Amino acid sequence: MKPLVQVGQAYMALSEGEEKLRAGLFEEAAASYNRAMTVSRTIPEDEAYDHQGFDALCYTGLSGAMVKLERFKEALASADIAMHYFNRRGELNQDEGKHWINAVRSRAAALEGTGRPDEALKAYRMVCEMITERKAEMPDKEEQLLIIEQHISRLDKGAATDKKPAGYKAWWEFWS
């Protein structure tokens, strides 16, 4: 198979994954993202093709699908792989910036789902800042910010109730 055919098949599977994710077909979306990465790995390394960048796009979508399937550990692993690539690139202005934001959002949701609210709160704040700072167009920017602010508010309240007031002593401290 010629590399151009493989590239086309990989991007077709990536596109299918994105369509299925938007349609709410999360298992099928995950399968499409995995198929896209499998096909892209058949492209020779010496070809002028950004293997890591393509994988980052796939892992971003895969993390979103895994969050929806409530498979939070897998979602976190996928988001971390994607973010490793995007954090080194640091492009919020390009189309990849949308994927970077999605990876951070999926990571936040995965952290929340795995019972790590402090880390999730930090990640939600980061994605909120990223969306606010983004210079390129985002058609649903206000809606995304509203949803993220709701997560932040809920997690922030939970963190506030977990903190003890100044001078607090546990019952057993009085007896020791």
At 160, the pLDDT band (50, 70, 90 cuts) reads low
What is the pTM (predicted TM-score) of this model? 0.83
- Tally of CB atoms within 10 A around 143: 10
Q: Which residues contact 56 (CB under 8 A, 6 or more apart)?
A: 81, 82, 84, 85, 86, 96, 99, 103
Most confident stretch, 148-152, 155-159, 161-165: 148-152
Identify the residue with better confidence: 95 or 105. 105
Mean pLDDT in residue range 2-19? 90
| Per-residue CA distances from 18 to 62, 63, 133, 173 (Å) | 9, 12, 24, 55
**pLDDT band of 93, cuts 50, 70, 90:** low
Domain residue extents for the chain: 3-158
For 3-158, which CATH class?
mainly alpha
Whether residue 95 has pLDDT greater than 90: no
What secondary structure letter does DSSP report for 167?
A: T
Task: Report d(CA 155, CA 10) in Å as an integer.
Answer: 38
What percent of the chain stands above pLDDT 70? 84
CA distances from 111 to 76, 124, 130 (A): 7, 10, 18
Provide mean pLDDT across the span 135-149. Answer: 83
CA gap 54, 42 in Å, rounded: 13
